[in-house]
Chains A and B, each alone.
Chain A
Amino acid sequence: MRRRFFSKAWEHVWVHALVWAFVLFAVYPVLQIVNISLRPGDQLYSTDLGLIPDGASFDAYRIILFEKPFPTWIRNSLIVSLSTALIGVSLASLAGYAFSRFRFKARGVALQGILVTQMFPATMLLLPLYMIMRRLQLVDTMLGVVIAYAATALPFCIWTMKGYYDTIPADLEEAALIDGCSPLKAFLKITLPLSAPALVITGLFSFMTGWSEFIVARVLLPSAELHTLPLGLESLASTYQTEWANYAAGSVLVCIPVVVLFLALSRFLVSGLTLGGVKG
């Protein structure tokens, strides 16, 4: 009995030690950004390892919020990311359903094709994309980037949606059809509400695509007044050394909304992320 107790206690200790090792690894870099953002101007290069720097100040936050076009960047990023999420969720929830429930002729090829799009290196689509957008007169418009982001996010979103629909038995819809429901209504009234976790995940991912992307944005949004957050932050990081604290403060502000979203939705993250096989 005593041995059992000790082995239990021992297990308790090592499990917690491991968990804390993981937490430290995951959280430390985040604490670093917070630390840098609080450093006063004369301490950007410091060998101090404390969590909060000496003479911590919110100067960088004041500067970034009131002396930089930060509010414009936030507005642009919100418009772009929310539109991307809206398009991503609507298109993926429809396409995923078609892939999950119907056995049409090109289904296998299309599913493979969706996986294949993920394999294109960024360098492959960037320049042609610019040419197309220029022809459509969508360079330097929000619509242009939103379309590009939606297309980037769609394959993964479709996959997630399809995987989730696969776990919902079709019997429910069948019963509704026998009761005289139209297929569209069966989808809207039964399957879609049951898929809330996957819809949330899909929305989150499309939003994140818009929120954190800067390579495509740099090409498609040359005008400063259309800069999104990543472009704005990049402009801070590439100018003077002294902007480091501002850059860090900006990063913290950029991270807060996504981190809050992720944490609030982490429950759905586990249940909604059912990556179905490509073949199935």
Chain B
Amino acid sequence: MSLIETRGNRLAAMFLAPTAVVLLLVVAYPFFYNVGMSFTNWNMFHFRDPSFNGLTNYVKLFRETDFWHIFSKTLLWTAVNLVFHVTLGVGAALLLNRKLPGRPLYRALLILPWAMPQYISALTWRGMFNLEYGAVNLWLGKLGLAAVPWLSGEWTAFAAASITNIWLGFPFIMVVTLGGLQSIPEELYEAARIDGAGAVRRFFSITLPSLKPVLMPAIVLGTIWTFNNLNVMWLVTKQGEPADKSHILVTFVYKAAFTYYRYGYAAAFSVFIFLTLFLIVKLYQRTEATEVH
């Protein structure tokens, strides 16, 4: 036990108290309130007199016609986005880590998507995916390709939302990776070079393993943020167009709660989303832990 610890236990309690108060009041209490709500029939018709209805909402949720479709789509959405975030983010970081003239400028420009408020980016990309006037189709036309009706098909809309989200998410991984790269000692590479290891080999046996401690938490966070990203899917597809086909779990429940006022049902759905995500993160941490041993 360190000296600071033996002498400062009261200090630790004092340091944690304000945070604990805020988080208990604004996060923990609403969470349990929501769990309670999920067992009631609270909706438009029972706004003033909700009553306990057991697991009805949970049963209803699994009976939702599109439930498994939306569920798998959310997993796909998370996987696709994360793969691109990591490959583009790490790729950009490797490029910026070279001795490049104008490096600070490039770095600043590549961080731009992260600096923009998400709702502005999402609406801008929505405009760019417009069939006739959107920049994406205009450029496709210039290249002699046919215009894609991005926002009127289920999977083209999915692609449009994914491109938007990949755009705004890769700089985070890039910045985290840049930090990680700077902490790898140059001697490691020197030694590998002397041993005759090529660039690819050096990447896989030095760079990637050294980046793992910084990348793993970033990937976990990225997974959580993407899985629950309400802004992008909701705004790019204009609340789930075409015909409510463009939903991931969180936009679906947002619509249930605030367009259709099915509060109890939405609460149950939210609990389900949370539990799913919780399981996914647990799985991540499990594999990470077993790999270490």
Contacts and interface: CB of A to CB of B under 8 A. Distances in A.
Contacts of B14: 94
A132 B230 contact: no
Nearest to A271: B179
B117 A129 contact: no
A121 B254 CA distance: 9
A263 B133 CA distance: 31
Interface in B97-119: 98, 100, 104, 106-119
Contact of A94 (B15, B31, B98, B138): B15
Contacts of B260: none
Contact of B5 (A29, A101, A119, A234): A101
Interface string A232-255: 011001000000000100010011
A45 B275 CA distance: 45
A24 B275 CA distance: 39
B27 A120 contact: yes
Given A124-B267, A255-B115, A132 B29 contact: yes
B158 interface: no
Nearest to A156: B221
A54 interface: no
B120 A102 contact: no
B175 A269 contact: yes
B273 A104 contact: no
A27 B110 CA distance: 8
Interface string A105-134: 000001000111111111111111101100
A158 B2 contact: no
Contacts, number: 271
A128 B266 contact: no
Contacts of A104: 9, 12
Interface in B240-290: 249-250, 253-254, 257, 263, 266-267, 269-271, 273-274, 277-278, 281, 285
A58 interface: no
Identify whether the interface residues of B are mostly helix, strand, loop, or mixed: helix
A258 B116 contact: yes
B98 A15 contact: yes
B208 interface: no
A101 B271 CA distance: 34
A23 B213 contact: no
A114 B43 CA distance: 31
Contact of A277 (B167, B217, B263): B217
**Chain B: interface residue count, which band?**
35 or more
Given A92-B19, A274-B179, A186 B4 contact: yes
Interface in B75-100: 88, 91-92, 95-96, 98, 100
A230 B11 contact: no
A127 to B, nearest CB: 6
Interface in B166-205: 167, 171, 175-176, 178-179, 182
B15 A29 contact: no
Contacts of B127: 32, 36
A56 interface: no
A55 B27 CA distance: 51
Contacts of A91: 18-19, 22
B37 interface: yes
B135 to A, nearest CB: 6
B15 A97 contact: yes
A278 interface: yes
A101 B92 contact: no
Contacts of A66: none
Contacts of B108: 262-263, 266
Interface of A: 15, 18-19, 22-23, 25-30, 32-33, 36, 45-47, 49, 87, 90-92, 94-95, 97-98, 101-104, 110, 114-129, 131-132, 147-148, 150-151, 154-156, 158-159, 170, 173-174, 177-178, 183-184, 186-187, 208, 211-212, 214-215, 230, 233-234, 237, 247, 251, 254-255, 258-259, 261-263, 266-267, 269-271, 273-279
20 contacts: A19-B96, A22-B92, A26-B113, A32-B128, A49-B142, A101-B5, A116-B278, A118-B224, A122-B230, A132-B30, A147-B22, A170-B4, A174-B2, A212-B118, A215-B230, A233-B120, A237-B123, A262-B114, A267-B104, A278-B285
Given A119-B228, A120-B31, A254-B117, 13 more contacts: A15-B95, A23-B110, A32-B127, A121-B270, A129-B30, A183-B11, A215-B230, A230-B117, A255-B120, A266-B108, A270-B178, A275-B218, A278-B285
The 6 closest A-B pairs by CB, nearest first: A212-B117, A128-B30, A183-B8, A151-B26, A262-B115, A128-B33
